Amino acid sequence: MKHPLESLLTAGGILLMALLSCLLLPAPSLGLTLAQKLVETFHLMDLNQLYTLLFCVWFLALGAIEFLALRYIWRRWFALA
């Protein structure tokens, strides 16, 4: 019988691994001219807001990639189907 919180724990573990990946793989650094152009294009207040959005997108992208990779590995080699 599966534990009722297993899916919640799985998602939490994946998010924790994504957080660790964000710490180990820093977000891409934009040049000053490109960053200022993006701030003007998206009508942001300053560079801090741009980099906050960039880090959020980076965190979500790494979490999604890790989730898909772990799900593939689990289903391919460890699942009892």
Residue 78: is its pLDDT beyond 90? no
Whether 21 and 55 have beta carbons less than 8 Å apart is answered as: no
Label residue 24 exposed, middle or buried (CB < 10 Å: 0-12, 13-18, 19+): exposed
What are 19-47's pLDDT values in tens digits?
Answer: 777 777 777 788 999 999 999 999 999 99
Find, among 27, 13, 29, 26, the residue nearest to 66 by Cα. 13
The token pair at 54 is 């960039």
Q: Distance between CA 47 and CA 31 in Å, rounded?
A: 11
Residue in the block written with tokens 């689990």:
74
What share of the chain in percent tops pLDDT 70?
91
Instruction: For the full predicted model, state whether its pTM sits above 0.85.
Output: no
Extents of the domains making up the chain: 45-81
